[in-house]
Amino acid sequence: MIQKGTKLVLEQVVTSIASVADTAEEKFVPYYDLFMPSLKHIVENAVQKELRLLRGKTIECISLIGLAVGKEK
C-alpha cells in the first residue's frame, strides 16, 4: 500500500478513516477487520524519516478506531 500510493494521498485516506470511525462509533465495528490490517501494515513499514507524519496519523487513526469500537475488538 505504501509503495502504490503517494504519501499525501495515504495521509488523507488515514485521516478520513479516523474521522469516519470517530463519527460512527460502535457502527464502525463491522469495518474494523477490513481496515486494521492495512493500518498495522503502514505502522510497521512506514519507518523512513519522510513517512513520520503518515505513521503518526496512522497511529492516531488506530487509536480513534479503538475508542470507537470499544474493548470487544
| Spans of all domains in the chain | 7-69
Query: What integer pLDDT is reported at residue 3 of this predicted model?
Result: 55
Predicted local confidence at residue 73, as pLDDT: 64
**Residue 10 contacts residue 2 (beta carbons within 8 Å):** yes
Against a cut of 0.85, is the pTM above it?
yes
How far, in Å, CA of 48 to CA of 22, rounded?
28
User: What is the pLDDT tens value at each position of the chain, 73 positions in all?
Assistant: 555 568 889 999 999 999 999 999 999 999 999 999 999 999 999 999 999 999 999 999 999 999 999 987 6
